């Protein structure tokens, strides 16, 4: 296929498993006097970050909220609500739960809202569980990006 692409004057070739290709190739003089560039359309889609990084803010919220929940209830509730909001933004940030075909009891398929409600309603269990499952949620979102 490379030879065929070279014969017809292209600097790329497409094979059956290939993703759509973007190119702004200027045609060679053999192809005529057209000066239009060729561009293959690629649908825009958000792609999650391909490198995993731990979220220090979530760990800090866990450390600060744990004593606050058991000592001073108003501060505890503020920290629990803040934790749920940060978890929602975090899961939404790497598109966790999107494009999941199966709806199972597997927590890596939960939507951002499901995780936020879990943390809000059952913080003592939900927040540590989210921190434990965060990497698997990220890996699943990278394995099946949003289309």
Low-confidence stretches of the chain (pLDDT beneath 50): 32, 34-37, 42, 48
- Predicted pLDDT at 10: 60
DSSP state of 29: G
Alpha carbon 130 to its chain centroid, in Å, reads 16
pLDDT of amino acid 111? 86
Collapsing DSSP to helix, strand or coil, 12 comes out as: coil
Please name which of 104, 107, 108 lies closest in space to residue 142, comparing C-alpha atoms.
108
For residue 57, CA distances in Å to 88, 131, 143 come to 13, 11, 25
List, for residues 38-52, the tens digit of each pLDDT value: 555 545 555 545 677
pLDDT score, position 35: 47
Question: What radius of gyration, in Å, describes the C-alpha atoms of the chain?
Answer: 24
* Contact of 86 with 115, CB cutoff 8 Å: no
Cα distance between residue 100 and residue 89, in whole Å: 18
Q: What is the pLDDT of residue 61?
A: 86
The verdict on pTM exceeding 0.75 is no
């Amino acid at each position: 296929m490379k030879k065929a692409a070279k014969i017809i004057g292209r600097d790329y070739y497409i094979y059956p498993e290939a993703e759509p290709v973007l190119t702004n190739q200027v045609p060679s003089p053999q192809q005529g006097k057209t000066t239009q560039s060729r561009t293959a359309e690629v649908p825009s889609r958000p792609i999650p970050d391909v490198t995993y990084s731990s979220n220090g803010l979530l760990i800090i919220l866990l450390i600060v909220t744990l004593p606050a929940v058991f000592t001073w209830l108003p501060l505890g509730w503020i920290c629990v609500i803040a934790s749920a909001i940060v978890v929602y933004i975090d899961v939404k940030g790497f598109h966790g739960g999107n494009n999941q075909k199966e709806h199972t009891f597997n927590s890596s398929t939960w939507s951002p809202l499901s995780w936020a409600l879990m943390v809000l309603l059952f913080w003592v269990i939900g927040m540590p569980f989210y921190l434990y499952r965060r990497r698997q949620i990220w890996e699943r979102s990278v394995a099946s990006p949003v289309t």
